[in-house]
Homo-oligomer: A and B are copies of this chain.
């Protein structure tokens, strides 16, 4: 089962500058060889369910190891069985409709 997932990890108790933790998670995801796109509010990830969630767990472990005692994470994910759809497909589909409005 493939999944398209938006991941936003918020380390708590480490001050207001969170980019070092987000960068460490980007590194985890890249090392897991997942297709990923960073955006202003999270990271979009595409891949096989188990592989994706193993990487999400590893992100939590790494951020805790970096010193964050508490983490609040938000995930939005989609699965579908009617057809294969990539992250690029989703964006192109909206842009095509938008062009017709």
A interface residues, Cβ below 8 angstroms from B: 1, 4-6, 8, 10, 12-13, 15-16, 18-20, 22-24, 26-27, 37-42, 44, 46, 49-50, 53, 57, 60-61, 64, 69-82, 87-88, 90-91, 93-98, 100-101
Contact = CB atoms under 8 A, between A and B. Distances in A.
A16 B12 contact: yes
A81 to B, nearest CB: 5
A76 B39 CA distance: 13
Contacts of A95: 23, 38
Q: Tell me the interface secondary structure of chain A in the complex.
A: mixed
A34 to B, nearest CB: 13
A39 B44 contact: yes
